[in-house]
Structure 1
Amino acid sequence: MLIIPVKEGENIDRALKRYKRKFDRTKTMRNLRARKQYTKPSVAKRAQKIKASYIQRLRTQEEIG
């Protein structure tokens, strides 16, 4: 549970912005969406390898050109 202390005389919009930022940093929604459906470890590992190769390809292209 996230607790955001609101200071005396602080604007509610500012407190909401702090709450949203803190919520995003905890990656709660990302975890919930990932847990909605089961992914086999082999599939997760394959996706991780594909992502790594894509990033590597981008870095080599950036290095060359």
Structure 2
Amino acid sequence: MEIYQLVFETAIEINPGAVAVGAALGIVVGVPLGAAIAKLVQKRAERGVKGTARVGRLRAKRAWDA
């Protein structure tokens, strides 16, 4: 998390206008994206949680290997 904060603070120093536009764009894009993800999660929950543990393990392994 500290890395992101450092990048963000550096970006503000370089170009505050671009950061503001980027943040606004992020909110505009992020809200519908969040809603879509929530809908997918809900559908998956309705179907049952079969397979999610396996996916979680694979993701954890990938993150660990990276």
Q: Same fold (TM over 0.5)?
A: no
TM-score by length of 2: 0.41
TM-score by length of 1: 0.42
With CA pairs under 8 Å and 6+ residues apart, which has the higher RCO, 1 or 2? 1
Higher helix share: 2
Task: Specify the structure having the higher radius of gyration (Cα).
Answer: 1
